[in-house]
Amino acid sequence: MRDNGANADSADSPSTPLKSPRPSSNPLQDHVLPSVEFTFSCSPSSAGRLTPVSSVDDSLDHQVERRSLTPNTQSLFQNLRLSETMRHPNHNSLTDPSSGPREAGLTPNSHHTTYRDLYNATPSPGGVSSTEPSQRRPQTPSSPLGSVSSHSRNLNPGDSGDSGDTAAKDSDRDEDTESEEDSLQNNNSDDDDEDYLYNIRQEELPQVPIYDIRLQNALRNVRGELADLAQVMSRRDLAQDPTTAFHQLYKQTLEASRFTYPATRTVGFIGDSGMGKSSLINSILDQEGLARSSGDGAACTTVVTEFRSVNEEHPQNYTIEADFMDNAEIRELLEELLANVRKYYTDAYREVRDATEQEDIKAAARRAWDTLLSLFPNQPALDLDFLSRDGEDAVESIVTTLEEWAMAGLDHRPGGRDSLRYSAVARHADECMEQLDNLMADAREGDRPALWPFVKLIRVYLRSPILRTGLVLADLPGFRDLNYARERATERYLRHSCDEVFIVSTIIRCTTDQSIGDIIRRCAQGQPIRIVCTRSEDVDARETARTSSAGDARRILDLDSRIQTLGRRIRQMRSRRRQASGSRSQSLAAEELALSDEKETLEFELKRFLILRRNRRVTESLSRAWSNQARVFCVSNKLYADHRANDPEQANGYLELSGITELRRYCQSVPADAQLRATESFLQNQVPALLGSLTQWALAGSDAVTAGRAEVLRDALNEAEQTLQRVR
């Protein structure tokens, strides 16, 4: 895997652009978009078997020649002029630091693909009803599939009935399950507010081939045409007869019409407690409070938690799955907890001389004791004297007792003591958070054992445009907050399950944070590493001016002075307005509003200058420290949270300055290559093979189709071919 180092030359970017192996102004010029070539074989052959590339038997029309019903995508896409419309994927969206908040807009233009443009995006509110697929996608003469469908609808083969509403119902179900995405996203307001609130679905995606809007539209159309074709096929009784070839073709068509990105790519976020890791995941997901976070620096993430997109197995708004330890794993954990306690509370501790090792032993003992208290809150016999007692078989006896207590406590576990997986459905985010708290925090009833010590992995399936692309976000506990068993499990997950690793630290301590090096050393060789520096907004103007160059200091102090002056004028204006009345009061109110707008613009300019200046310096420092092997992002969860609910005109500048939108765009590039390969296979192989089989079924008269009915199907296919020839 190629690692993209940080580049410290950009003055205004909070992170550095990705390095490319060779210069390229257009990310698509070296990548040909998938070819959609539907080639149907209709010429005779000595072989009698019917395959997508074989010929039909001698009973078919020998005048039908082998022809391509669909042109190569090269010709279909040659007029798209991708190179003229696509930017470089690492285009810096942050412009001149002096620009105001309204000059750093996120609203995409017609050349940019947004989450709303994805082939599997939820339809916009107020759009055309999805009740009837044919109403959503009017058939045109240029659509070969549409031509086949329109002719097939007129067939009356005699063995069809109304039992074939299956495809239509399935299609409706797929879209109905997506219809609540906007209302679920961060508890957004009603659809009437959509034009007045910042909408994440309008954020642009990275400029990579898979997200090209024309490819997304083509993929959406192919799926739609296949859904229409499946609906037509479902009206035949043969589609419901598992013994027929037509039934298998119908199932394949229905499955192809539901194509989704099959691959996932996992981005793991890891860091010490209090670094803002869980808050960062909430910001990326645009979901407030979903990932558990704490403002007091306490460790809230105790187990790896994955955030995944909904799928066929988990179609609800929110589904929470937890994997529990088995009995052997429970005993291993109890043995380790006991060992950690005894290292500190027995004579063995007196033999340790190194101060650092002593602190580590003390911290591990404290975590182990707290865990045991969470597991056995109603066991009066649990105390330090019991855990540290001496004797020949003391350890084995203590572990056996702990194990008995643990087995009894498993009766309170969802599903009982024999259940190794728990699944719960939540209707909304608050209910989902409550379920997560039950799994990851001590029980609210003080006498009930906590569940979290015996949880191995948690998966949260939710509706989110961020996750629809196959992206999986993993919230990993920091190594310093774990016992040895969990540390090993987290390290295995980090090395083998994470496609990229994001190490989270605060921007104030990131250059001296020793945990960064520790995590990098635990990663696999060549594993892509990213460093995310949080709290970028935590910067003081006057303190910065004291350590800045003369030019920067003058600019900072000048902006700060003008802001202070405007603040005094606003307070004076407000006092005068309160004492005035009538038109004079209205005039003063207008002046006060104008001064407030001017002050807000200057505040943004100063904050932008301070943040980007430090971001650049931190990026340069980390790049030198890690020899450009780690790309750096500087973000502010606070700026994002404070301005997320503003109207787009006010929000755009601050949200871009927060660095969250840039990081979110980068995360979407992680699954891009895998999804492009899957899409290529779908369009180049799966769909052509399916249509070839359908064509040969029609021409061969399989499944006892009469010659007259086969002739009608042949006419439909020939008409589709002639239609396509006209548009080629």
Predicted confidence (pLDDT) per residue in 292-301, tens digit: 765 544 456 7
Specify the amino acid at residue 201.
R
pLDDT value at residue 707: 60
Contact 82, 74 (CB under 8 A): no
pLDDT value at residue 84: 38
The residue with greater pLDDT, 346 or 700, is: 346
Query: Three-state SS for 463?
Result: coil
Looking at the predicted structure, is the pLDDT value of residue 565 above 60? Answer: yes
pLDDT value at residue 47: 34
Banded model confidence at residue 329, pLDDT cuts 50, 70, 90: very high
Looking at the predicted structure, is the pLDDT value of residue 166 above 60? Answer: no
Looking at the predicted structure, is the pLDDT value of residue 260 above 80? Answer: yes
pLDDT value at residue 52: 30
pLDDT value at residue 640: 96
Structure tokens at 618: 């931190």
pLDDT value at residue 106: 35
* Global confidence as pTM: 0.76
pLDDT value at residue 391: 81
The residue with greater pLDDT, 132 or 328, is: 328
- Taking each helix axis from N to C end, the angle separating 245-257 and 166-176, rounded to the nearest 10 degrees, works out to 20
Which distant-in-sequence residues (6+ apart) come within 8 Å of 535 by Cβ?
A: 276, 506, 507, 508, 636, 637, 638
pLDDT value at residue 195: 58
Query: Three-state SS for 85?
Result: helix
Q: From CA 82, how far away is CA 112, in angstroms rounded?
A: 11
Pairing mode, strands 500-506 and 265-270: parallel
Structure tokens at 377: 């809150």
| Listed range (280-289, 409-418, 464-473, 712-721) with the worst mean pLDDT | 712-721
DSSP string, 3-19: -----TT-SS-SSPPPP
633 forms beta bridges with 532
Banded model confidence at residue 332, pLDDT cuts 50, 70, 90: very high
Q: From CA 35, how far away is CA 74, in angstroms rounded?
A: 7
pLDDT value at residue 724: 38
Banded model confidence at residue 702, pLDDT cuts 50, 70, 90: low
Which distant-in-sequence residues (6+ apart) come within 8 Å of 618 by Cβ?
A: 507, 510, 511, 533, 632, 634
Q: pLDDT, tens digit, for every residue of 76-128?
A: 333 333 333 343 344 333 334 334 443 333 333 445 899 999 988 755 443 33
The residue with greater pLDDT, 60 or 177, is: 177
The residue with greater pLDDT, 70 or 374, is: 374
- CA distances 683 to 144, 157, 215, 233, 360, Å, are 15, 31, 11, 21, 56
Looking at the predicted structure, is the pLDDT value of residue 719 above 90? Answer: no
Query: Three-state SS for 148?
Result: helix
Residue 434 Cα to chain centre, angstroms = 22
Structure tokens at 39: 């080639």
Taking all residues of the chain, what is their mean pLDDT, rounded to a whole number? 76
Looking at the predicted structure, is the pLDDT value of residue 576 above 50? Answer: yes
Mean pLDDT of 589-602: 94
Contact 662, 633 (CB under 8 A): yes
Largest CA distance in the chain: 101
Q: From CA 409, how far away is CA 378, in angstroms rounded?
A: 10
DSSP string, 592-623: HHHHHHHHHHHHHHHHHHHHHHHHHHHHHHHH
Banded model confidence at residue 646, pLDDT cuts 50, 70, 90: confident
Looking at the predicted structure, is the pLDDT value of residue 712 above 50? Answer: yes
Query: Three-state SS for 116?
Result: helix
- Give me the torsion for CA of 558, 562, 568, 572, rounded to 10°: 150
Contact 223, 156 (CB under 8 A): no
Contact 494, 270 (CB under 8 A): yes
Mean pLDDT of 498-510: 96
Q: pLDDT, tens digit, for every residue of 202-214?
A: 899 999 999 999 9
Banded model confidence at residue 518, pLDDT cuts 50, 70, 90: very high
Q: pLDDT, tens digit, for every residue of 24-75?
A: 444 444 454 444 443 333 333 333 332 232 333 333 233 333 333 333 433 3
Q: From CA 232, how far away is CA 219, in angstroms rounded?
A: 20
The secondary element (H helix, E strand) that includes residue 664 is helix 660-669
Q: From CA 126, how far away is CA 195, in angstroms rounded?
A: 13
Half-sphere exposure at residue 351, Cβ-oriented, CA atoms within 13 angstroms: 4
Specify the amino acid at residue 471.
L
Query: Three-state SS for 227?
Result: helix
Percent of the chain with pLDDT over 90: 46
